[in-house]
Each structure stands twice: as C-alpha cells, then as structure tokens.
C-alpha cells in the first residue's frame, strides 16, 4: 500500500521530533478526528509531546472519543492554538492534501519554518509537506495511519483508545463498510483493531444513534420540504439557510450525512446539499457509480474530494449557489456522458 522509503522517511521525521502538532481539515469528520486523535495517542505512547489543533469545531457526535477535550479549536482559542503551533517541531496534516483545507490556519502554517508531513487518502495532492503519504485507494486516513503504524513496528503502542479512534474513521468513511471497503486489507485492519478490544457495536451506537431531537426534526424538514429532484440527470439537491438552522438549534455536525439520503431514491445517482454559513455557502456532493462529483465541485465550487464524495464552497448567496448547481449540472452531465470522464 505504501512505499517503504516513504514510511522510513516518516518514521525518521517522527523520531527526530519532540513536539508534534497534528492538524485535520476544517469541519473535521469522523475520519479526520479519528486519525488525529488516534495518532496523537500512539505518538504520546512513544514519549512525544503531541497536540491536536482543529481549524474549526468537531461534530458533537464525536465528543466521546478520548482526547477530544484536549484538542484545541483554532476558531475558538486562537492564542492557545498559535502558542502550540510555535512550539511544534513537526506538523502532521491528516485527511487533507491542499492547504486551503486548513481554513484560517493556513496563513499561520505558512509562516512556520518546521518540518511537515502529510498522511491522506484524497486524490490529486498538492505538494504541501516534506514527507507526503498519499494513498487514494485507501478507505480512510484512519486505515492508512494504522497501516503505517504497523509498518513502522509500533503496533504495541496502539491501545484501546487509539483503536477506537481508528475504527471510527474507517466506519464513517465507508458508510459502516458499505462502500470504498472491498479491499481485504481493510478487514485485516478491522481484525487488528478488534484484537485491541474495541467494542465496534458501541462505537456505531455512539456515532450514529446519538441524534438530538432537533437534528432529527431538521432532517425531517430538509427531506420533507427542501428536496428537489432533477430526474433527467438522476440528480437531487437540498439546501438550508441560516434561519432554518437556527430554528433547529444547529450544532456542528448536525447536517453530516444529510446529503446521502437522496441517493437511496430509485434512479438518483447524484446528490447535492447546500448550507448557509456565516461567511460562505458550504456545499456537499455525493454520487454513485462513475459520476465524478470531485471534478464537478472543483470546476464550479472551488472544491474537491473523492469521486463519489466531494465538497466545496461558494461566496455567492445561497440562492445563487443553488442556481449555479441547477444550471451547471446538466451541462457537466451531458459532457460527462459524451466523454465518460
């Protein structure tokens, strides 16, 4: 899965460092947080000083993971995040491959003259680190990190807490092993994590069965009143404005997974979700089959991601962003059909 030379370089970089800072992407999901916290626990076992700084808040449904209370949210406590950043002699980027995904933290990172490593599974990486571990075929960054730890001979440093974090990322990035998970190696990893005494059913329960009443009502609202189909393109889209979010007591992570629901409608293979935030519109795209939502997002919403799961953003209004989708999707769809990108 990984080149031994790259693994050796990463190992040397870690061994030569004392103070390591781990940075996941903004709006971190289960994989980004699982990878950051799991790696944090393992590196601490190795005797390193480690901190996790998230560019923005993590979802509430991940707060049970060990280490979340020590993770610093740059948006919430910039002075502490910057103090930690300035002490670090190694930065490790996890689950992203272009610096834009570090949000407002990007310009702080660019000021630093320290070693950097990247561990990620998204396609088309930018050259952002001294050591780049990029494996797009891997189910999740969590699987990739667990694989790297094993290759570095550090499996004994993976305790139950770290294993729980790694399992969370594999589970959330594969829809509980329902997609991107046909490589037997993924199950060998899961077997290894089970041997670390994780309770996988409990993790599933904690992540997927801890909805607040208001999140459930928000889901009902968006599916009931804000879901539009584009049958000719086998597409669907939904949107939520700030008012609707406020009315449903929105908490970070509450809309996670909403974009997947329309894909369970017969004949729908592309789904889009637009959400109004303070400074921008956050867009999420999902597809089934060969339709490359990452290319579509890159082209029209300054985004990217995987072929079947991508995101982006827009600085236009919510209405304009949705209209852009409605006008551009058929054009892209027709070109895609002709070229089979």
Q: In terms of CB distance, is 300 or 306 closer to ligand 5GP?
A: 306
Residue in the structure block whose two tokens are 């969370």: 168
Binding to ligand 5GP, residues 47-106 (CB under 6 A): 98, 101
Q: Which does 215 bind (CB under 5 to 8 A by kind): Mn ion, ligand 5GP, none?
A: none
Number of residues in contact with ligand 5GP under rule CB under 6 A: 15
The two three-digit tokens of residue 311, written as one number: 């995101």
Burial 247-286 (b: 16+ CB within 10 A, else e): ebebebbbbbbbbebbbeeeebbbbbbbbbeeeebbbbbb
The two three-digit tokens of residue 69, written as one number: 């209370």
Q: In terms of CB distance, is 30 or 234 closer to Mn ion?
A: 30
Find the residue with minimal CB distance to ligand 5GP. Answer: 311
Alpha-carbon distance of 308 to 302, in angstroms, equals: 17
Q: Helices marked H in the chain — which ranges?
A: 4-15, 30-45, 78-87, 105-111, 141-151, 160-173, 184-194, 200-208, 213-225, 242-247, 293-300, 318-339
Alpha-carbon distance of 314 to 294, in angstroms, equals: 15
The two three-digit tokens of residue 44, written as one number: 């601490």
Q: State in angstroms the smallest separation of the CB of 53 from ligand 5GP.
A: 17
Binding window for ligand 5GP (CB under 6 A); candidates: 21-29, 34-42, 53-61, 198-206:
21-29
Q: Which does 164 bind (CB under 5 to 8 A by kind): ligand 5GP, Mn ion, none?
A: none
Q: State in angstroms the smallest separation of the CB of 123 from ligand 5GP.
A: 10
Q: State in angstroms the smallest separation of the CB of 195 from ligand 5GP.
A: 28
Q: Are 322 and 289 in contact (CB under 8 A)?
A: no
Q: Which does 305 bind (CB under 5 to 8 A by kind): ligand 5GP, Mn ion, none?
A: ligand 5GP
Binding window for ligand 5GP (CB under 6 A); candidates: 36-44, 60-68, 193-201, 298-306:
298-306
The residue ranges that bind Mn ion (CB under 5 A) are: 31, 95, 141, 173
Judged by CB under 6 A, the residue of 34, 169, 292, 303 near ligand 5GP is: 303
Q: Which does 54 bind (CB under 5 to 8 A by kind): Mn ion, ligand 5GP, none?
A: none
Find the residue with minimal CB distance to Mn ion. Answer: 31
According to DSSP, the residues that pair with 50 across neighbouring strands are: 20
User: Of 107, 48, 43, nearest to 74 (Cα)?
Assistant: 107
Alpha-carbon distance of 213 to 293, in angstroms, equals: 31
Binding mask 304-323 for ligand 5GP (x = CB under 6 A): xxx--xxxxx----------
Q: In terms of CB distance, is 173 or 276 closer to Mn ion?
A: 173
Using CB under 6 A, list all residues that contact ligand 5GP. 25, 27, 29, 98, 101, 284, 303-306, 309-313
């Amino acid at each position: 899965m990984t080149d031994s030379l790259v693994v050796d370089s990463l190992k040397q970089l870690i061994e030569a460092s004392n103070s390591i800072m781990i940075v996941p992407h903004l709006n971190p999901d289960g994989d980004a947080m699982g990878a950051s916290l799991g790696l944090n626990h393992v590196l601490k076992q190795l005797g390193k000083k480690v901190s996790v700084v998230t560019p923005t808040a993590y979802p509430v449904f991940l707060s049970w993971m060990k280490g979340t209370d020590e993770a610093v949210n740059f948006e919430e406590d910039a002075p502490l995040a910057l103090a930690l950043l300035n002490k670090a002699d190694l930065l490790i980027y996890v689950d992203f491959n272009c610096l834009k995904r570090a949000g407002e933290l990007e310009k702080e990172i660019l000021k630093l003259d320290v070693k950097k490593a990247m561990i990620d599974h998204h396609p088309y990486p930018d050259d952002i680190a001294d050591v780049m571990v990029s494996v797009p075929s891997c189910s999740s960054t969590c699987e990739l990190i667990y694989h790297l730890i094993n290759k570095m001979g550090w499996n004994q440093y993976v305790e139950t807490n770290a294993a729980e974090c790694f399992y969370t990322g594999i589970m959330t990035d594969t829809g509980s092993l329902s997609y991107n998970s046909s490589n037997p190696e993924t199950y060998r990893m899961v077997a290894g994590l089970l041997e670390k005494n994780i309770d996988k059913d409990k993790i599933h329960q904690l992540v997927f069965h801890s909805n607040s009443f208001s999140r459930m009502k928000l889901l009902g609202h968006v599916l009931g009143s804000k879901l539009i189909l584009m049958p000719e393109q086998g597409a669907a889209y939904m949107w939520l404005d700030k008012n609707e979010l406020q009315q449903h007591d929105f908490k970070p992570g509450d809309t996670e997974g909403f974009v997947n629901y329309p894909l369970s409608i017969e004949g729908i293979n592309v789904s889009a979700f637009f959400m109004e935030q303070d400074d921008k519109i956050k867009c999420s795209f999902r597809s089934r089959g060969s339709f490359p939502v990452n290319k579509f997002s890159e082209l029209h919403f300054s985004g990217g991601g995987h072929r079947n799961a991508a995101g982006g953003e827009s600085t236009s209004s919510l209405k304009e962003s949705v209209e852009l989708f409605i006008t551009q999707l058929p054009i892209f769809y027709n070109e895609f059909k002709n070229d089979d990108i």
